């Protein structure tokens, strides 16, 4: 996969752009004024894989709390701004490394210039965030969905021009929609039109169980086409869950190194002679605590078993009452079914 | 999304190719000789959304059972063949509408010709299935992963040529790997090289929880690029789960019409003033039985709430202690928090 070439934006030491790895981010979901809880949630997000964390600061008390939070965490924070230029400037002064802004939601051009000048003075990056649900050009209900990609792109052009005219270029762009095809389409268009890094997200994707697949399809497609420099999965619930989904998407594409065991399992069919699913579940449980990027294959027949074994650190091809164990593709033992797990774990300890 | 133009292959009345909708398929996982269980599983798969079902027939008894199964189900069946030309011919004579074959696993050219001639005589389609785990060209362990896409494409070319020379063209092609980027890469290459429909799958993807995201990324990316005419998600477990994942992938891309309520939910942030997640869960539970493709938005603030409401059949934008209800984008009521669900359901009943 070749990443689309972009500029590089420095967000408090974390680089966003094609010269850097794709950064996972999420957003806190507790009151920003509850500094202790907020710090705890941020730390959990970092542990889960976030390289950046976003915090909403709708009120003056929130930007005041932000200064305290910044001082207590080891990750650059992004302030999420809507409507208020005062909040934006306060957040910048409080130590946000980046602010997220929909310029369409800021009242006046003067306000926008005030934010830009403050960001420049403090070396703070800006994400220009356009959202299908906030298109302001026209009464949105009147614009058929098929025409909204063009409208979002037009909005983005107008906003970018304001920043460029003011000679401000540490920009990251995002265009979000709750519709998967439109998210793909609008980001392809933005990738084509600009050289700035892109923040990807499928917005309002639903509860985690509903959000997982549309998010993987939308973000996965774009990433597989080289588009996207930082990503956020949006799901209603614990942001650690969002982060885990984002991490899984990146890992599946090889854009993030695995830290745990990867389990390759045949889906089973009428050829299976032993209960592969139970065996795989037991293996998964047994390796849950192992923080090594090993690949283990649990296969049920000789059609693809030896082939998958060749790519795995360890593998078992299980047939009637027994399993053939493989280490790095070489068959090392034949064991009775009830000894498969024990022998696999013994081998694992030796890797 | 524009589908890649392909030939059309008739599989017992179900059409595969760019002129037809993308067909979901899965595979039975009970002994084929257990006709009653097999029929039950096939019926469950059809109900879950399969337009085709594949059955493995490794033994003579399985192809005998297949004839009975064919007579008892209302969906075209695909026989999964490995190694044995006899099984292939028996399956065709038993009424399979398509057979899946890796020609590399069939012993001789004569055997392959015998299968092709039988398929032609019975108007049965053939899927040529290449699998990274069965590359036979070279000892596979010796071929670095980066070179396997080319190798799989080369194998596919050789196999297709055998069929074309025999003037047999109701072909569907598949190239599977357990690696997401390689699955994307090899299918892009095959889409470029041939005009036959493509069957997509990420093979050996693991237990359902592990298979979901890589499958959505691999299949979603290809489908979003117009590639793929029939899909199968491979997960170790109940094939109904595979089918549901496949259906979700297609629905997220608008390639399959929704039959249930779609829930748009804001992910919540520090701006939320009521517990949106609980509210969304309650709404989800309340609408679980409704088989209408309605869109319901549950939003937590005024930034994107009215915008999402505009696209939803029903929406609630919830703030401190109350919710604004919208029907087709028009605000229709303001209700206290504890009445939101009841009012939403009342509105729903009227749609």
Closest residue to B27, CB basis, from A132, A207, A269: A269
Q: Which two tokens stand for residue A277?
A: 């699913």
Nearest to B235 among A28, A134, A267 (CB): A267
3-state secondary structure of B19: coil
- Mean pLDDT score, B95-101: 98
Residue B284 has pLDDT above 90, yes or no: yes
Average pLDDT of chain A to the nearest whole number: 93
A64 vs B303: CA distance, rounded Å? 22
User: Please, what sign has the CA dihedral across residues A276, B198, B37, B81?
Assistant: negative
Q: Which residues pair with A79 in a beta bridge?
A: A55, A99
- Please judge whether B216 and A221 are an interchain contact, meaning their C-beta atoms are less than 8 angstroms apart: no
Provide the pLDDT for residue B311. Answer: 87
Looking up tokens 């990420």, which residue turns up? B202
pLDDT of A136 strictly over 70: no
Q: How many helices (H) and strands (E) does chain A have?
A: 11, 15
- Kindly list the residues from chain A whose CB atom is less than 8 angstroms away from the CB atom of residue B141: 310-311, 329
Distance of alpha carbon A303 from alpha carbon B72, whole angstroms: 29
List the single best residue of A42, A100, A204 to mutate versus B (max B Cβ within 10 A): A204
Q: For residue A315, what pLDDT band results from cuts at 50, 70 and 90?
A: very high
**Nearest Cα to A346, choosing from A325, A330, A328?**
A325
Q: What is the CA radius of gyration of chain A?
A: 24
CA dihedral sign of residues B208, B209, B210, B211: positive
pLDDT band with cut points at 50, 70 and 90 for residue A139: low
Tell me which chain B residues have a C-beta less than 8 angstroms from the C-beta of A318: none
ipTM, two decimals: 0.95
Contact of B288 with chain A, judged by CB distance below 8 Å, is answered with no
Domains of chain A: 9-252 (3.20.20.20), 262-349 (3.30.413.10)
Average pLDDT over every residue of A29-38: 97
Query: Is the Cβ of B294 closer than 8 Å to some Cβ of chain A?
Result: no
B 324-343 → A contacts, CB under 8 A: 329
Residue B156 in tokens: 């596919």
Question: With b meaning 16 or more CB within 10 Å and e meaning fewer, what string describes B171-195?
Answer: bbbbbbbbbbbbbbbbbbbbbeebe
Does B6 score more than 80 pLDDT?
yes
Distance from C-alpha of A143 to C-alpha of B311, rounded to nearest angstrom: 10
Say how many residues make up chain B.
351
pLDDT band per the 50, 70, 90 thresholds, residue B139: low
Q: What is the DSSP letter of B301?
A: S
CA distance B163 to chain A (A): 22
**Crossing angle (nearest 10°) for helices A148-165 and A109-121:** 60
* Percent of chain A with pLDDT strictly greater than 90: 79
What is the spatial distance between Cα A348 and Cα B17, in angstroms, rounded to a whole number?
Answer: 45
Q: Can you point out the beta strands (E) in A177-320?
A: 199-200, 230-231, 262-265, 295-299, 314-319
Using 50, 70 and 90 to split pLDDT, how confident is the model at B304? confident
pLDDT band at B241 (very low <50, low <70, confident <90, very high): very high
DSSP 8-state secondary structure symbol assigned to residue A7: -
Single pTM value for the model: 0.95
Q: How far is A121 from chain B (nearest CA, A)?
A: 27
Q: What is the pLDDT of residues B215-228, one digit of tens each?
A: 999 999 999 999 99
Range of A116-120, A149-153, A300-304, B290-294 with top mean pLDDT: A116-120
Residue in B32, B38, B270 closest to A28 by CB = B270
The whole-angstrom separation of Cα A211 and Cα A178 is 10
pLDDT, mean of residues A107-126? 96
pLDDT at B307 over 90: no
Q: Is the pLDDT of residue B14 over 60?
A: yes
Averaged over B71-100, what is the pLDDT?
A: 97
- Listed in sequence order, the residues at least 6 apart from A17 whose beta carbon sits closer than 8 Å to its beta carbon are A6, A7, A8, A9, A197, A229
Residue B138, pLDDT above cutoff 60: no
Residue that has been written with the tokens 């003579």 in this structure: B60
Q: List phi, psi (to 5°) of B10.
A: -90, 115
Band of residue A249 on the pLDDT scale cut at 50, 70, 90 = very high
Give chain B's end-to-end CA distance (angstroms, integer). 30
Return the pLDDT at A300: 87
B186: tokens are: 């090899």
Task: Calculate mean pLDDT across residues A312-328.
Answer: 91
Residue B111, H or E segment: helix B109-121
| Cα distance between residue A321 and residue A340, in whole Å | 10
Contact of A136 with A110, CB cutoff 8 Å: no
pLDDT score at A160:
97
What's the rounded Cα separation, in Å, for the pair B213 and B219? Answer: 10
Instruction: Say yes or no to pLDDT of B140 above 60.
Output: no
A220 at interface of B, judged by CB pairs closer than 8 A: yes
Distance from CA of B343 to the nearest CA of A (A): 21
The answer to whether A64 faces chain B, any CB pair under 8 Å, is: no
In 3D space, the residue among B267, B217, B222, B205 whose CA is nearest the CA of residue A216 turns out to be B217
Contacts of B135 (CB under 8 A, 6+ apart): A307, B104, B143, B148, B151, B152, B155
**CA distance, residue B323 to nearest chain A CA (Å):** 18
Q: Work out the pLDDT band at B10, boundaries 50, 70, 90.
A: very high
CA distance B247 to chain A (A): 10
**Burial grade of A225 (CB within 10 A; 0-12, 13-18, 19 or more):** buried
Query: Is beta strand B125-131 parallel, antiparallel or unpaired with respect to B98-101?
Result: parallel
DSSP state of A141: G
- β-partners of residue B322 are B319, B336
Contacts of A214 in chain B (CB under 8 A): 248, 252
Asked if B7 reaches chain A (Cβ–Cβ under 8 Å), the answer is no
- Enter the tokens of residue B195: 């005009």
Interface test with A, best of B53, B96, B133 (most A CBs within 10 A): B133
The residues facing A55 across adjacent strands are A79
């Amino acid at each position: 996969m070749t990443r689309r070439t972009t500029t590089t934006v420095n967000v408090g030491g974390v680089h966003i752009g094609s010269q850097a790895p794709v950064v996972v981010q999420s957003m806190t979901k507790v009151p920003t004024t509850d500094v202790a809880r907020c710090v705890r949630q941020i730390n959990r997000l970092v542990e889960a894989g976030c390289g950046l964390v976003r915090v909403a600061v709708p009120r003056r008390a929130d930007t005041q709390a932000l200064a305290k939070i910044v001082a207590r965490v080891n990750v650059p924070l992004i302030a999420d701004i809507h409507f208020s230029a005062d909040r934006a400037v306060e957040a910048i002064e409080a130590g946000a490394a980046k602010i997220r802004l929909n310029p369409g939601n800021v009242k006046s051009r003067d306000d926008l210039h005030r934010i830009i000048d403050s960001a420049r003075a403090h070396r703070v990056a800006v994400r220009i965030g356009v959202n299908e649900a906030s298109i302001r050009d026209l009464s949105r209900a009147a614009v058929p969905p098929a025409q909204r990609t063009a409208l979002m792109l037009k909005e983005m052009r107008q906003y970018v021009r304001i920043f460029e005219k003011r000679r401000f270029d540490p920009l990251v762009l995002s265009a979000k929609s709750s519709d998967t095809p439109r998210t793909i389409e609008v980001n392809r268009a933005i990738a084509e039109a600009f050289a700035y890094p892109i923040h990807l997200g499928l917005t309002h994707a639903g509860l985690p169980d509903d959000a997982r697949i549309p998010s993987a399809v939308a973000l996965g497609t774009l990433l597989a086409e080289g588009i996207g420099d930082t990503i956020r999965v949006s799901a209603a619930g614990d942001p650690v869950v969002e982060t885990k989904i984002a991490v899984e998407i990146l890992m599946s594409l090889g854009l993030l190194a695995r830290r745990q065991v990867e389990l390759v399992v045949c889906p089973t069919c009428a050829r299976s002679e032993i209960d592969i699913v139970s065996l795989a579940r037991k293996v998964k449980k047994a390796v849950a605590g192992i923080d090594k990027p090993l690949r283990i294959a649990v296969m049920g027949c000789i059609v693809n078993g030896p082939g998958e074994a060749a790519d795995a650190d360890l593998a078992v091809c299980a047939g009637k009452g027994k399993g053939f164990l493989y280490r790095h593709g070489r068959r090392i033992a034949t064991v009775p079914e009830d000894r498969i797990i024990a022998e696999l774990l013994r081998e694992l300890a030796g890797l």
